[in-house]
A and B are shown apart, each in its own frame.
Chain A
Amino acid sequence: MGPNLLRVRDLQKEFVLHILNNKRVLAFRDITFDVPACSFVGIAGRSGSGKSSLLKCLFRTYLADGGSAIYQSAAGDLVDLTDAPDDSVLDLRATEIGYVSQFLRPLPRVTALDLAARPLLQRGVPRAEAHEVVSRYFERLSLPRDLWDGYPILFSGGEQQRVNLARALAARPRLLLLDEPTSALDSGLQLEVVRLLQEARADGVTMVGVMHDTALLDELSDEVITMQDGAIVERQAPRLALAQAAP
């Protein structure tokens, strides 16, 4: 493991719902942790603990109210993801920071292959090559072949999730944020996903993953942070021994 790719300090987020008479809902507060390069930081907790909101704040889908999330970019700059200008955030999302959620937002008339290949296509990778890379992930995730040219809008939840995963893995971002990446998959596939994520990590991808399945999380993570009611209640290092042996 290397130096910290991401340093989160005192991050907090509260929703103010103006249409509900300015009701305030706390998402999380006082979140502090480090994400060393090439590590996997897992975030556990029950629904409502704030873990998904935390991940979304890192990706800028949510705006944090306070604290910071300092990310070291490929160019060597230190960028606070919480208040960087929109264009910087978009640049990082295009090249360095990826996000896998349970939900896929399918685009009309775009095939599964094209959808998953998009990040590569945007980088200028030729279509045939991009499709080939993505196909290999489709194979390993056991996505039925006849769906590859299909429209994901018609897929089941599990099938959509696999397209999502293939897309994120093929893109090989520097930092990958995962929000329940295996929730709709059976246990066999879940193990395959674990293998793929471990390979990605060995390839240099740093990951922060939210999962409710603690067994899988222990399998993958160098550190597991458990959240409850918007705060960190526990930190563990189940993979410490293995991580020290990693390149």
Chain B
Amino acid sequence: MTTAQLHGNGVDASGARPGWAINVDGLTKLYGRGCHHCLETTGPARDRNVCPHCQTTVACAGVSFELRPGHTLGIVGESGSGKTTVLRCLYGDMAPTAGTARLRDFQNGATDIFEADGQERRRIRNFLLGMVYQHPRQGLNMQISAGGNVAERLLATEWRKVAAIRERAGSLLGRMEVPLMRMDDIPAHFSGGMQQRVQVAKALANGPSVVLLDEMTSGLDVSVQAGVLDLMQELQRDEGIAMVVVSHDLGVVRLLCERTLVMKNGRVVEGGVTDQILEDPHHPYTQLLVSSVN
């Protein structure tokens, strides 16, 4: 598939490029065989994810949102909310049960990325998306150097000049405040904060249009968190990337996200401008969540 085919020729069927960077509609993921009771017997009203009839787990159901370039969407919720599942389906780590996702930079949003074949999906993931996992182990190759990790992303997007790759890797790592002299070291020996920063550098290496961040700061010291978040804000301003930030930490979401979705038991219960969600929550669960934080 050529890059031109990947990006589209600038005009879709309706004649215009969509205003969003990513559009997700009805994303649903079920673990198990499923039955027609699954959706109505699970969810926030029932306070459960598992269907009592067939024991199928409804990890997420009916998740829809749109995100503009340069904007950041937060998704908050506790374990079982389905927020991580949403990210992993979008990145391609797992296949959803139902729903569509479109990217403006993939054929002008005309094609559902879940309908793409293996090779196309891989190209979408390499060229258009970035993902930062909660545990650096999941996102980094601990057998190769920090620079090599970033280089891998560039190599996947067909960079073929060692000097250029090394320079870009060095500059990205430098931006994330990873010292140049550690570029050739294996990330297994780095602190958690530095590992996360290598992950972010790697996720951004290919200049993606959408970056997905899964509990990026969990497990980091508070001061380190502040540093990473600050860097993310700079990137938001400078790169105009659309970001989806999943977190159970409302402080992170308040800092980075203009809009927020609240999820419980796999469903979106509330969504809106972030300060409104945090200061004037309407759904009982959101009120509980917000009031539980100091």
Contact = CB atoms under 8 A, between A and B. Distances in A.
A212 B146 CA distance: 57
A86 B275 CA distance: 11
A19 B272 CA distance: 20
A84 B282 CA distance: 17
Best-surrounded residue of A15, A19, A86 (most CB of chain B within 10 A):
A86
B83 interface: no
A9 interface: no
B184 interface: no
B279 interface: yes
Interface in A2-24: 15-19
A90 B273 contact: yes
Contacts of B254: 105
Contacts of B284: 18-19
Interface string A78-117: 0000000011011000000000000001011110000000
B280 A61 contact: yes
A121 interface: yes
Contact of B282 (A16, A90, A121): A16
A63 interface: yes
A155 interface: no
Contacts of A17: 287
Contact of B259 (A63, A90, A109): A90
Contact of A90 (B227, B230, B258, B291): B258
Contacts of A86: 259, 271-273
Contacts of B227: 108-109
Contacts, number: 55
A56 B283 CA distance: 19
Contacts of B279: 56, 61-62
Given A18-B287, A86-B259, A109-B226, A122 B237 contact: yes
Nearest to A27: B280
Contact of B226 (A18, A63, A89, A108): A108
A63 B280 contact: yes
A109 B272 contact: no
**How would you classify the secondary structure of chain B's contact residues: helix, strand, loop or mixed?**
helix
B39 interface: no
Contacts of A108: 226-227, 229-230
A89 B282 CA distance: 18
Interface string B23-42: 00000000000000000000
A239 interface: no
Nearest to B281: A18
Interface string B254-294: 11001100000000000111011001101110011001000
A90 B71 contact: yes
Interface residues of B, number: 26
B68 interface: yes
Nearest to A17: B287
Nearest to B222: A108
A191 B105 CA distance: 53
A109 B230 CA distance: 7
Nearest to A105: B254
Contacts of B258: 90
A107 B237 contact: no
Interface string B69-106: 00100000000000000000000000000000000000
B230 A107 contact: yes
Contacts of A110: 230, 233
Contacts of B272: 63, 86
A110 B291 CA distance: 28
A73 to B, nearest CB: 17
Contacts of B255: 107
A109 B177 CA distance: 14
A62 B272 CA distance: 10
Nearest to B284: A18
A86 B230 CA distance: 24
Contacts of A90: 71, 258-259, 273
Nearest to A64: B280
A178 B279 CA distance: 18
Contact of A63 (B66, B276, B287, B288): B276
Contacts of A63: 272, 276, 280, 282
B284 to A, nearest CB: 4
B228 to A, nearest CB: 10
A243 to B, nearest CB: 32
22 contacts: A18-B287, A19-B284, A19-B288, A19-B291, A61-B276, A61-B280, A62-B279, A63-B280, A63-B282, A86-B272, A87-B66, A87-B68, A87-B259, A90-B71, A107-B230, A108-B226, A108-B227, A108-B230, A109-B226, A109-B230, A110-B233, A121-B237
Given A63-B282, A108-B227, A110-B230, 9 more contacts: A17-B287, A60-B273, A61-B279, A61-B280, A62-B279, A63-B280, A86-B259, A108-B226, A109-B230
